[in-house]
Amino acid sequence: MKVTKTKLAGALVFEPKVFGDARGFFMETWNYQRYRDAGLDVKFVQSNLSKSAKGVLRGLHFQNPNPQGKLVQILTGEVFDVAVDIRVGSPTFGQWHGEFLSGDNHTQFYIPEGFAHGFCVTSETAIFSYMCTNFYDAKADNSLLWNDPKIDIKWPISTPSLSEKDANAISLDAFNPEKLPQYIVK
């Protein structure tokens, strides 16, 4: 398995070994020991699956309190997936990292707790799978503006299809810093 560290501490890109032939393929999508040895020592408590059409943008979502770390991957289709460091006091506060994930490249992206997360669908449809380190908490759920000019994410689409929640999201500067995750030096 190839592991790539991003400029955002804790945000990791995994390229699992894929064993394939004319019949199809096999890959291990999670193995606690193997991922721990590669730098991801977390416990997942919830697994989610979503399907979205081309042009759909979901995010940028985060929970605070009760943040969720997410190991994401695409089963079919392709998305541009983004993590934004929103931990107050972090040296990379407000910075983002994006990855194209697809059912063909099998790449996984780990978004740490304290980060906002979003993706846009670049194929006709995409089936998105992710495991979370914490349970969903509707009271802690927040949405950061997908096109916040200060964050300046280079999305591959300009007029996405958004939920009402995401269309009404606010910029990072508009959030009360006390409502955002805090950076803790380990």
Q: Any idea what the CATH number is for the domain that residue 136 is in?
A: 2.60.120.10
What pLDDT does 2 receive? 96
Total structural domains within the chain: 1
184 within a domain of the structure (yes/no): no
Q: What is the pLDDT of residues 21-30, one digit of tens each?
A: 999 999 999 9
Residue 96 pLDDT > 80: yes
Residue 143 pLDDT > 80: yes
DSSP string, 3-19: EEE-SSTT-EEEE--EE
171 within a domain of the structure (yes/no): yes
**Count of other CB atoms within 10 angstroms of residue 180:** 20
100 within a domain of the structure (yes/no): yes
48 within a domain of the structure (yes/no): yes
Average pLDDT score over residue span 112-129: 98
Average pLDDT score over residue span 77-101: 98
What pLDDT does 185 receive? 82
Average pLDDT score over residue span 87-91: 97
Residue 186 pLDDT > 80: no
170 within a domain of the structure (yes/no): yes
Q: Which domain holds residue 139?
A: 2-18+25-177
DSSP string, 89-155: T-TTTT-EEEEEEETTT--EEEE-TTEEEEEEE-SSEEEEEEEESS---GGGEEEB-TT-TTT----
Residue 89 pLDDT > 80: yes
185 within a domain of the structure (yes/no): no
To the nearest whole number, what is the mean pLDDT of the chain? 97
11 within a domain of the structure (yes/no): yes
- Catalytically active residues are 61, 130
What pLDDT does 166 receive? 98
Residue 7 pLDDT > 80: yes
182 within a domain of the structure (yes/no): no
